[in-house]
Structure 1
Amino acid sequence: MKTLKFAALALLFTGFASCSDDDDSINRLDIKTSTVTNFEAPQTGGRDQEPESGEFAKFDFATGMRTTSDTEWDIAFRGLKIAVNGGTQTGTNDEPARNGNAAVAITTGTLASVTDVSTLTFIQDAPSSFAIPTGGSDGWYDYNFTTHTVTPIPGKILVFRTRDGRYAKMEILSYYRDQDSSDPSGSRVYTFDYVYNPNEGETTFE
């Protein structure tokens, strides 16, 4: 009799566990892979010691779109500067207020090879310092002083913790409209690939 009761309880708990696993699978959201083309990030100034200014162009990974929201944005572009919605303002003209918990880590590889970001060190914007450096080997691009062109560094992957605890990874492909660097008038126009995991707290992209 005791054996039958034990077997029944075991079957019951197995059923609960199975239902729980099924619920987790049903509730889990699909990872999103997308390309954004010709994302304009204009600025004024920046030449002949004229101060840079102009509104930052905000991007929301959850919707995959540009946004004008004061709060529902993850990263923001203006010229070569990229802000994250986390930390504090840097003191740059016309930058948005930080009101989320976004942060960034820069790693080397390909979008496909960056599968688990749990061991990366994420940093936020701070006074006088953007988390994403502009120029140099620590940043995402090289600048050619002869041709005055900006070229993304191959293999530089930007990994973001979004404002609300999700994760995304990005590779910037071009800084020019239609990816045509021969036309300097088409600069400050981004094209990038990204992968976004909408499941809160998940640090993998599998």
Structure 2
Amino acid sequence: MRTMRSALLLLGLGVAGCAPDLREDYPFDGQASSGQLVTVTPREDGSSHALIDATNKSAQVYFDIDEGREMKTDEALDTNGWDLAFQRYTVTMNGGGGNPTGQVRVAVLEGQDWDALATAPTEGYQQDASEPVFNGVHGGWYTYDLVKHRLATREELLYVVRSSAGRFFKVQMLSYYDDTGTPARLSLRYQQLQAPTAAP
């Protein structure tokens, strides 16, 4: 019996030694950047690609989707002109729980083809409540793999953002990791839509 217990103990230690190191693989770890936190690249199809450095665990990155740029915290709060804010895997909007004085609203579309969506929908717009729309509606923008400890984006979800300036944009979350595998460096694409035929 003692021999069997010893063998099981050694086997358990061997398996534990092969397990992934959560300090490296855990998706909510990362180094904060003091440089440019938003990089926007226009695409030939009229859309834009945004890379958001949201690695700082204690600060939000404010994004003005109308102008396609980062808003520093003081400017964002003073002007109330920001649209989306990113902090690790959490995406909030300038409206509702994210900011009760904000006018941003978001509609979530499931199974909608990106290219086929040219006009914003007339209904379905929400503001953040106890949980952000991006993280809660239709199960949120990502799935979490408990074995690999990684986030995977749900590209079947499209978000239509009614911005602080009253314009409409379709948004698709693309990745939580950059090309080197660093977490909380989110990629998304967005493109302006025609306004809906009736005001939402």
TM-score, length-scaled by structure 1: 0.64
- 1:168-187 equivalences in 2 (<5 Å): 168-178=169-179, 180=180, 183=181, 186-187=182-183
Aligned to 2:65: 61
Give the Cα separation in 1 of the matches to 2:142 and 2:128. Answer: 19
Aligned to 2:166: 165
For structure 2, list consecutive stretches of 5 or more residues without a partner in the other structure. 1-44
Aligned to 1:47: none
User: Please, which of 28, 50, 53 is the counterpart of residue 36 of structure 1?
Assistant: 50
Give the Cα separation in 2 of the matches to 1:142 and 1:125. Answer: 20
DSSP-derived class of the 2:126 partner: coil
Give the Cα separation in 2 of the matches to 1:166 and 1:112. Answer: 19
- Does structure 2 conserve the Cα–Cα contact (< 8 Å) formed by 1:100 and 1:164? no
Structure 1's 137 and 147: CA in aligned 2 closer, same or farther, altered over 3 A? farther
Query: 1:156 is aligned with what amino acid?
Result: L
Give the Cα separation in 1 of the matches to 2:67 and 2:122. Answer: 27
DSSP-derived class of the 1:164 partner: coil
2:76 pairs with 1:76 = no
Give the Cα separation in 1 of the matches to 2:125 and 2:170. Answer: 12
- Does structure 2 conserve the Cα–Cα contact (< 8 Å) formed by 1:36 and 1:191? yes
* Superposed displacement of residue 115, structure 1: 2.3
Superposed CA deviations along residues 158-191 of structure 1, whole A, max 9, x for unmatched, are 111111311011111110122x5xx3xx101111
For structure 1, list consecutive stretches of 5 or more residues without a partner in the other structure. 1-30, 45-53, 90-96
Give the Cα separation in 2 of the matches to 1:114 and 1:141. Answer: 21
TM-score, length-scaled by structure 2: 0.66
Aligned residues: percent identity?
Answer: 25
Q: Once superposed, which parts of structure 1, at least 4 consecutive aligned residues long, lie more than 4 Å away?
A: none
- The count of residues paired between Structure 1 and Structure 2 equals 147
- 1:38-187 equivalences in 2 (<5 Å): 39-44=52-57, 54-68=58-72, 69-70=76-77, 71-89=80-98, 97-108=99-110, 109-126=112-129, 128-134=130-136, 137-178=138-179, 180=180, 183=181, 186-187=182-183
Structure 1's 138 and 116: CA in aligned 2 closer, same or farther, altered over 3 A? farther
* Superposed displacement of residue 35, structure 1: 0.9
Query: 1:79 is aligned with what amino acid?
Result: R
- Does structure 2 conserve the Cα–Cα contact (< 8 Å) formed by 1:100 and 1:163? yes
Give the Cα separation in 1 of the matches to 2:71 and 2:103. Answer: 17
* Superposed displacement of residue 67, structure 1: 0.9
Give the Cα separation in 2 of the matches to 1:165 and 1:143. Answer: 33
Give the Cα separation in 1 of the matches to 2:155 and 2:134. Answer: 16
Give the Cα separation in 2 of the matches to 1:203 and 1:137. Answer: 22
Aligned to 2:196: 203
The alignment's C-alpha RMSD in Å is 2.3
The structure with the largest alpha-carbon Rg is 1
